[in-house]
Amino acid sequence: MSIEMDIPVQAADSGRDIDYDELPNYIGYLLRRAQANVFREFERSLGDIGLTPGAFGLLMLIRANPGITQMELANAFGIDKSTLTPVLNRLEQSALVRREQLAHDRRYNALFFEDAQEAFFDRARTRVRDFEQSVADRLSDDEQRELVRLIGKIQADA
Amino acid sequence: MSIEMDIPVQAADSGRDIDYDELPNYIGYLLRRAQANVFREFERSLGDIGLTPGAFGLLMLIRANPGITQMELANAFGIDKSTLTPVLNRLEQSALVRREQLAHDRRYNALFFEDAQEAFFDRARTRVRDFEQSVADRLSDDEQRELVRLIGKIQADA
DNA sequence: TATTGTTATACTCTATAACTATA
DNA sequence: TATAGTTATAGAGTATAACAATA
């Protein structure tokens, strides 16, 4: 089982033939390379909107779930609550999101997407969709569904 | 198109139904989640050998390509030369790898796996293989091949 | 006591730019 | 001038542990 490796970017290769040993068969290695490449592309084509892939995803979740708390959001996104705090600080500073302490239990922050940013969000989402489309276009519809299914299947159950 | 999300680990969910909007359709999001999960599992089951997934991969490449230079290795692994330096420092401190300045062009470091560590490497590789197998076992052989093919296909050409 | 969220801290991974040495 | 490798620096992303506020 062998795959085509993508071409390095740093410098012209001197032409040495690299022996990749078992590495190309390792799922972890494949995922790291694929994720790094896709994120690099995302930043190259969307860097000017000022949102990282993670920040955009969080923003989308907050917008789709008005009043979601920080713990709920962290759990839904698969990160620790302490990882979430600084990202929310940035989103709040950019006036994209606001925190509202719940009156009936003031331990909780309810999170809201700022309606005034709807136009901005819409532009950003269009750009993200275009980007995703450009990636998805490398696969047929069937292949896209299959990839999503297979990636879902390798996730550990716990 | 919908997928099963994996269960959050942090705390029992209060049961709120999260609206994931378009997120589960985004390849970038899927790859991040999958990679984070697989790496977490790697560290949980292999943390005691003292090698991160990246460090193990580099070690495997050095061992398979005795005398490879740092630029060649960085290119082959898809990282910058400046990212490579500290990892090599750690591998050298652990006596797993040594640098040898080339006599005929002293700008280059040739990298060598330390033969004395063959037993250690063998144990580590067995553990990694077992781990990879446990992940791969979630898919049939056909599915494994298909996943590798599809991930390869979505990599940008440059 | 238990939970939410913040803070302090640390570590990995990543890169760019400036630097050293070598050619 | 150009290249290999190191260093300085920065930033994202991640986590654990301790903490304050609240319940």
Give the pLDDT of residue B33.
86
Backbone dihedral angles phi then psi of residue A30, each to the nearest 5 degrees: -60, -45
The chain A residue lying nearest B65, using CA atoms, is A19
**Tokens (6 digits) for B94:** 């652990």
Helices (H), chain A: 27-46, 53-64, 70-77, 81-93, 118-136, 141-154
Residue that the structure tokens 């979740």 belong to = A61
Domain around A51: 23-139
- The answer to whether residue B158 sits within a structural domain is no
Domain count, chain B: 1
- The answer to whether residue A43 sits within a structural domain is yes
- The answer to whether residue B107 sits within a structural domain is yes
CA distances for B36 relative to A13, B4, B154, angstroms: 31, 16, 19
- The answer to whether residue A2 sits within a structural domain is no
A residues 83-112 near B, CB within 8 Å?
Answer: none
- The answer to whether residue B89 sits within a structural domain is yes
Please indicate whether, in this complex, the C-beta atoms of A68 and B18 are within 8 angstroms of each other: yes
Span CA (B106) to C1' (C23), Å: 9
Which protein residue's Cα is closest to nucleotide D12 at C1'? A52
Nucleotides of D under 7 A from a protein CB: 3-9, 12-18, 21-23
- The answer to whether residue B2 sits within a structural domain is no
CATH of the domain at A50: 1.10.10.10
Residues on chain A touching B76 (C-beta within 8 angstroms): 5, 8, 18, 20
Q: What is the mean pLDDT of each run of 10 residues along chain B (158 residues)?
A: 33 69 88 86 80 92 97 95 96 95 96 96 90 87 91 72
- The answer to whether residue A71 sits within a structural domain is yes
- The per-residue pLDDT for range A22-57, each reduced to its tens digit, is 998 888 888 888 888 888 888 877 778 888 899 999
The verdict on B142 touching A (C-beta cutoff 8 Å) is no
- The answer to whether B99 CB sits below 7 Å from nucleic acid chain D is yes
Q: Are A51 and A145 in contact (CB under 8 A)?
A: no
Residues on chain A touching B37 (C-beta within 8 angstroms): 78, 155-156
Give the pLDDT of residue A1.
33
Size of interface A-B (CB pairs under 8 A): 222
Q: Are B39 and B53 in contact (CB under 8 A)?
A: yes
The verdict on B122 touching A (C-beta cutoff 8 Å) is no
Q: If DSSP codes are grouped into helix, strand and coil, which group holds residue B98?
A: strand
> What would the DSSP string read from start to end of A52-84?
-HHHHHHHHHHHHSTTEEHHHHHHHHTS-HHHH
- The answer to whether residue B15 sits within a structural domain is no
The band of A106, judged by pLDDT with boundaries at 50, 70 and 90, is: very high
- The per-residue pLDDT for range A107-146, each reduced to its tens digit, is 999 999 999 999 999 999 998 898 888 888 889 999 989 9
